Amino acid sequence: MTVRHLDRLFAPKSIALIGASRKPNSVGAVLARNLFGSGFAGPIMPVNPHETAINGALCYKTVADLPLTPDLAVIATPPDTVAGLIAELGARGCRAAVVLTAGFGEGTDAAQKAAGEARVLEVLQAARPHLLRVIGPNCLGIAVPGVGVNATFAHVAPAKGDIALVTQSGAVATALLDWAQPHGIGFSHVVSLGDMADVDFGDMLDYLASEPSVRAVLLYVEHITNARKFMSAARAAARSRPVIVVKSGRTALAQAAAQSHTGALAGSDAVYDAAFRRAGMLRVGTMAELFSAAETLARARRPNGDRLAVLTNGGGIGVMALDAMAGEAVQLAALTPEAQAALDRVLPATWSHANPVDIIGDAGPERYRAALDILLDAPEVDGVLVLNCPTALADSDDAARAVVDATAARTPDRRKTVLTAWLGDHTAAKARRTFTAAKLPTFETPEDAMRAFGQLTRFRRNQEEALQTPQSVEGEFEIDLAAARTPIDRALAEGRDWLDEVEAKAVLKAFGVPVVETRRAKTPAEVGQIAAELLPLGRVAVKILSPDILHKTDVGGVALGLKTPEDAEAAAVRVLARATEQKPDARIDGFTVQQMIAKEVSHELICGITNDATFGPVVVFGKGGIAVEVIRDTQIALPPLNMTLARELIGRTRVARQLAGYRGRPPADLDAIALALVKLARLATDVPEILEIDINPLLADAHGVVALDARIKVAPFGTRRQPAIKAYPTALEKEMVLRDGTVLKLRPVRPQDADAYRPNLAKCDADDIRRRFFGPLKTVPDALIARLTQIDYDREMCFLAVPPADDGEIYGWVRVTADPDNRHCEYAILVRSDWQGHGLGLKLMEEIVAYGRWRGTGEIWGTILRENDAMIDMVRQLGFQISADPDDTALVKARLALQ
């Protein structure tokens, strides 16, 4: 379940407080004080067998004595009583409970953990038959100031506002509430999830995404339970409002048990970072930054890029601002000669003649205004940070008003991001009030302001990446799944965890990853024979082949640059001797012989797959070679990948600058590197038995890539977690025959279809567009195209009818979007005007109805213009029931039960 009955939690009509107390400073007493004092309009019913009244309200002995069934039950009783109370409440019809009680497996004592986990199972078993939702246990509680609910034992009551705060830690929640009160920050919801036995982050994001009272969502995360649900919910929520997250454990050691290079480099915090980025969320480093980022995103205009100009009346604070730029997603804007010449005309000769633009300590409002106007007009500037140090030579308040006037005077198409930092306290207070009144972000220090601009640029980048149109690659490589599975199935049948090098390269080759030809030899003599066959192509390398030796260079198990068969045979004898000396217990299966790849200018890279305990398979890329752990230049992304996401992954590494070319060295083939990453990601999603892939090195130059060495670790199906993001469902592609015998291809939409959408929409006449979108559509925004083509296959589906050649033509499409509980899904359909009359619309509706039944969706529904008789008649043929839309007389609702 996800959002089912969460309305009972956050908009209850009645509340039962079980465990209410009059004992001073007890949880039950504080809960009662907060609940009764929060202005809740409905009945609050305390339950305690030992009290007659609490806070002036009649106290009931048991749940059975309650005069009515509560929408929400708040439970603060001993842990062994909770499951029974949940069962009793559920039987009465209560559908939501907040369990503040601890004792459900916290701590490190093994016996206590086992007993606590058993209690959790009992609670869930008691709740499940009644679909009763549980927040907690071991939590602070929940608060919804807008409806007068404060079911927490916090020491301060949250003020009403438009920020939703969701945290696992009750202590963090109280600290944030305490910090927010003097800063005037209010909340729409405060939710302490505790141990997350039932309601988790994914559920909360799904619920809050549809709440109009929520402007921004702040998360404090310790761990995620259901990664796929979380990613689906986070991606949906982040499309409609800022979702800002701080996660503890940033410095956790990487997974110690991982045996391959990629496993050792993929620490869990880095995977969380990749997940937050992929979802379009903004991650910050501290709790205080949660609120500052929310306010910045609310007040500041989003910059179009990361190039920042700094305008200051003091050189020292300008330098401080530059120091703060390190580590932020900010670049110092390089002022053009034209901008510098314009500044020369309005500034004294002693100005800095560079960025930061130091306009000298005696700068008055006219000088601030003139310089700011020039910087805001400069195309090379995406944003301006305006700094001021108080001096006796000029009035800081006047300078502040000049900044406000300069920004207010600009037309919307000429506005840019402006942040301010007026240093000091007494002198700066009035200026800060001026900026706040004008809704200009203002900060106390240059460091805070620089961090805020970095947050803006990272948020913009994360959001824009979700809307970029990726290059199509599906038709550029073919996979041979059977060939890939053969060595994997053989290894599993033999009880092996690791494929040998030849098998690993066969798997990669089956998915189109270029590999160097590698052959297996049993003896040194056979090594010499194979070398004789390969040497006409160039020198050869000989490596030891052993399931117990993963890093061959560590044991001297590699010999390179061999020129003759005799050299190769002798090298095999040497590597065998060294390997057996270093690893006397290792099983030796022989040797591998491979062609040496001679490239004058090339880069050794590492790429692969590792398995994260929470998010499943992840893709790793970075600088390779034998010093990979020392250099530690790797980045992580969640599969599946397209070319856009693969290039972004490459761009986050330091080695990306070398790959771009330098000092006469040609750039590497970035498309080939990106394509290799796309193929690896496809391997991770298509072959669930793969736990790890380690390609090191992947040799890259201007002409392409080739894998020189590879290892693959496997495990039986079901061992690893499923990918956190559902991949393109190839299995749903099929042939479709229309009533006139026309054969078309039916397939799910792909992000790569974005380029084809506009020209095919252009082939629809205006009336068809009006009936589909309920109004004219003169232009198709990029955001709409991205939304139509970049779907979450776990919750949405869009089938396209295309020609068998799949050449970019789209004759029609039908889509459904399911609610998080999969109880209902809404459909929408459009058939190109020149393809109407062939029965395509009916066929598409039949397919989407069948898909909904296959998924187990409860109902499919849609909205139709009342005048659209053809659509109404068509869906009636399929069994849909038509009814009036209660909110719009021009529309009707079509509904069909699927189960």
Q: If we measure between CA atoms, which residue out of 653, 658, 656, 607 comes closest to residue 632? A: 653
What DSSP line would sit under 847-875, residue for residue?
HHHHHHHHHT-SEEEEEEETT-HHHHHHH
Pairing of strands 417-422, 383-388: parallel
Q: Summarize the confidence of residues 335-341 as an average pLDDT.
A: 96
The confidence score (pLDDT) of residue 260 equals 42
Q: How big, in percent rounded to 5, are the helix, strand and coil portions of the chain? A: 40, 20, 40
pLDDT tens for 356-391 read 999 999 999 999 999 999 999 999 999 999 999 999
Confidence of residue 165 (pLDDT cuts 50, 70, 90): very high
Average pLDDT score over residue span 745-774: 87
pLDDT level of residue 262 (50, 70, 90 thresholds): very low
Percent residues over pLDDT 70 in the chain = 96
For the chain, what percent of residues have pLDDT higher than 90?
70
**What is the pLDDT at residue 670?**
95
Provide the token pair at 246.
């701080």
Contact criterion met (CB below 8 Å) for 687 and 499: no
Residue 865, strand partner residues: 891
Residue 873 and residue 415: Cα distance in Å, rounded?
Answer: 51
Per DSSP bridges, beta strands 307-312 and 331-332 are parallel
Name beta bridge partners: 802.
Answer: 745
Sequence-distant (≥ 6) Cβ neighbours of residue 472 within 8 angstroms: 750, 752, 755
∠14-155-221 over CA atoms, to 5°?
Answer: 85
Q: How is the beta sheet containing 187-192 ordered, strand by strand?
A: 149-152, 141-144, 187-192, 160-167, 216-221, 243-247, 282-283
pLDDT digits (tens, 9 = 90+) for 125-152: 999 999 999 999 999 999 999 999 999 9
In Å, what is the CA distance from 355 to each residue of 325, 403, 404, 446? 13, 18, 21, 15
250 vs 98 pLDDT, higher one: 98
Please check whether residue 611 is in contact with residue 692, taking contact to mean a CB–CB distance below 8 angstroms: yes
| More confidently predicted of 103 and 76 | 76
- Condensed to tens digits (0 to 9), the pLDDT of residues 580-634 reads 999 999 999 999 999 888 777 889 999 999 999 899 999 999 999 877 887 889 9
Say how far apart CA 205 and CA 244 lie, in whole Å.
12
Position 252 scores a pLDDT of 47
Alpha-helical (H) ranges within 20-75 are: 27-36
- Computed on alpha carbons and rounded to an integer, the radius of gyration of the chain in Å comes to 32
Q: Say whether pLDDT at 256 is over 50.
A: no
**Local confidence band at 179 (pLDDT 50, 70, 90 cut-offs):** confident
Q: Is the pLDDT of residue 239 over 60?
A: yes
Query: Is residue 544 predicted with pLDDT exceeding 60?
Result: yes
Give the separation between CA 426 and CA 815, rounded to whole angstroms.
59
Interacting residues of 453 by C-beta distance below 8 A, sequence separation 6+: 303, 308, 328, 330, 383, 385, 417, 419
* CA angle, 92 then 93 then 94, to 5°: 100
Q: What is the pLDDT of residues 782-833, one digit of tens each?
A: 777 888 888 889 899 999 999 999 888 999 999 999 988 899 999 999 999 9
What is the rounded distance in angstroms from the CA atom of residue 608 to the CA atom of residue 25? 55
pLDDT at 509: 96
Contacts of 768 (CB under 8 A, 6+ apart): 830, 831, 832, 833, 836
Pairing mode, if any, of strands 812-818 and 796-802?
Answer: antiparallel
Cis peptide before 46 (omega within 30 of 0): no
**C-alpha to C-alpha distance for 517 and 525, rounded to whole angstroms:** 19
Half-sphere exposure of 273 (CA within 13 A, CB side): 17
According to the model, what pLDDT value does residue 253 have?
A: 44
Residue 260: how many other CB atoms lie within 10 Å: 24
Q: How confident is the model at residue 559 (pLDDT cuts 50, 70, 90)?
A: very high
| Nearest-angstrom CA–CA distance, 697 and 710 | 8
- Return the exposure string of 538-551: e unless at least 16 CB atoms fall within 10 Å of the residue's CB, then b: ebbbbbbbbeebeb
- Residue type at 575 in one-letter notation: V
718, exposed or middle or buried, with CB in 10 Å at 0-12, 13-18, 19+?
Answer: exposed
Residue 518, CB half-sphere, CA atoms under 13 Å: how many? 25
In 494-554, which residue ranges form alpha helices assigned H by DSSP? 501-510, 524-534
Task: State the chain's mean pLDDT as an integer.
Answer: 90
Rounded mean pLDDT of 399-427? 91
Predicted confidence at residue 254, as pLDDT, reads 33
Helix (H) or strand (E) holding 317: helix 315-325
Helix (H) or strand (E) segment spanning residue 483: helix 481-493
- Compute CA distances 218 → 240, 298, 319, 446, 686, whole Å: 14, 13, 32, 24, 35
Quick check: 7 and 38 in contact, CB under 8 A? no
Does residue 251 surpass a pLDDT of 70? Answer: no
